[in-house]
A and B are shown apart, each in its own frame.
Chain A
Amino acid sequence: MSGALGRIGALALRHWYLLRSSWPRLVDLVYWPAVQMATWGFITLSLTPTSGDAMRGVATLLGAAILWDVLLRAQLGTTMSFLEEMYSRNLGHLLASPLRPVEMMLALGFVGLLRTLVGMVPTSLLAIWFFGYSVYDMGLALAAFFAVLVAMGWAISFFIAGLIMRVGLGAEALAWGLVFAIAPLSAVFYPVAVLPEFLHPVAYALPSAHVFEGMRALLLTGTFDMRHLVMGALLDLVYLGLGIAAFLGFHGAARRNGRLLQMGE
């Protein structure tokens, strides 16, 4: 394998080597999604212990919790892979190699996807075991929801990684906090209709809100609303374009102002 694919594979390989050498990193990938899933599962059971709709409640809340973690883990997995390069002071080696910035984004996104799968597949199996709830009952819609959320996670992480390159590790807190800022507007556990009316356009400008609205419609009424999926995918294209442009723009600015020489600071 040579050329761009070879370079993307090389960076992905570097992160595979890192993960397999560090069991705390591997455990961390599964631990938090599993805790989140268990917490929401028990909360749901406690709220609806005798209702005939208990299983439906479990389905919507657990489905929401698992899909929310897909967005969170895709963003964190991609950003963390970038941060690992900052922590190890390896970014200079990578950026002075033939690896292009776009190739770096593709590699980090691929690693972020793998980290998401490593965390979410065991968690979804635990949900079947603990609560008898299978997220896979959503069928092909699950793959579509998953893709929209992962792409949104990539877009956010490209923006954050670029910003960290531009201003340094002082912006690291965004890696952990930015996605939570959009959680209330994403209507993860409640319909968009619950939000004040003036926030509806803001919520519907987020791909995630369309995923969670679509998921609820599917689980509660059994209908798959294609409009939400299409809107989520179209918005993803806009967000990915902005995220990639931000990464490239911040990278260019960091080259101009010499920030790449002060990596890790």
Chain B
Amino acid sequence: MRPVPYPAPHPLAPVLAIDGLVKHYGPVKAVDGVGFSIAAGAITGLLGGNGAGKTTLIAMILGLVAPTAGTIRVAGLDIAETPSRVRAMMNFSSPYVDLPHRLTVAENLSVFARLYGVAEPRRQVAEVAESLDLAGLLRRPLGKLSAGQRTRVALAKALINRPRLLLLDEPTASLDPDTADWVRRYLLDYQRESGAAILLASHNMAEVERLCADVVMLRAGRVVDHDTPAGLLARYGRDDLEAVFLDIARGRERET
């Protein structure tokens, strides 16, 4: 009997398409009817206060949390139907998970290259390490690195399979301004070079304004606005995204 082939990713489908996504924990509506999509080569910001549902939303995209209702498609494939296949096309970095500290940088990256089915793991580890300025740290255990170096290793792990969809939760949190700036420039270069779609959850409004083509605003598990940074600033009559964020977080109506 011939094995049933996986459905092929659809070339014209958005890289990420979320429709009617709901997550209820008993009476608590963590995510309540969220829907948006991200095209290839776009960076979309995900903004919202604490408890707005950002982490739950990202966890559902990753398959770590089962939705109560709704669909998540990556390159046209439903993650509920072919989870392993879909996960191979994406990757993530989050402050809520860590990599084994006793393993060296090279060992960590090598393990994840193999988990993601990278064709030439050694070469890919060397390339990613080189691009993230980690080549000199490959033999060092992760636990011996500084916070900034560990963030770069986490980013290297997130890029090890050259994902079509990259999910980043607070990628520059706890970094000094210089390192954070370096990471932002790297992400922009990577997105331009690879054409990957990136969903970026952040509390750093300047970062979102600089990196993101559009912004999804979440409050109490719902999308309360979705526009380009310039569009949001114009409609709310504000000079920066932080003021827009505060307007939305505090439930103030937009001006037009």
B and A form one assembly: yes
Residues in chain A within 8 A of chain B (CB atoms): 1-3, 6-7, 9-11, 13-14, 17-18, 21-22, 84, 88-100, 252, 255-258, 260-261, 263
Nearest B-chain residue to A19, judged by Cβ = B102
With A92-B97, A98-B87 already in contact, 16 other A-B pairs whose C-beta atoms are closer than 8 Å: A1-B114, A13-B110, A13-B111, A13-B114, A17-B107, A18-B102, A93-B97, A93-B112, A94-B115, A98-B116, A255-B65, A255-B66, A258-B30, A260-B65, A261-B59, A261-B65
Given A18-B102, A90-B100: A2 in contact with B64 (beta carbons within 8 A) = no
Complex Cα–Cα for A69 and B183 (A): 50
Please determine whether A260 and B59 come into contact, CB atoms closer than 8 angstroms.
yes
Nearest B-chain residue to A95, judged by Cβ = B64
User: Contacts of A257 on B, CB cut-off 8 Å?
Assistant: 25
Q: Which 6 A-B pairs have the closest CB atoms?
A: A10-B114, A92-B97, A89-B98, A96-B62, A255-B66, A98-B88
User: Contacts of B115 on A, CB cut-off 8 Å?
Assistant: 7, 10-11, 94, 97-99
- Inter-chain contact count A-B, CB under 8 Å? 105
User: Contacts of B84 on A, CB cut-off 8 Å?
Assistant: 98-100
Complex Cα–Cα for A96 and B98 (A): 13
Nearest B-chain residue to A91, judged by Cβ = B97
19 contacts between A and B (CB under 8 A): A1-B114, A7-B114, A9-B114, A11-B111, A17-B111, A88-B98, A88-B100, A88-B101, A89-B97, A96-B62, A97-B115, A98-B87, A99-B115, A255-B64, A257-B25, A258-B25, A258-B56, A260-B64, A261-B64
Please determine whether B141 and A21 come into contact, CB atoms closer than 8 angstroms.
yes
Residues in chain B within 8 A of chain A (CB atoms): 23, 25, 30, 55-56, 59, 62-66, 83-85, 87-88, 92, 94, 96-104, 107, 110-112, 114-117, 119, 141, 157
Cβ-defined partner of B103 (8 Å) among A9, A14, A94:
A14
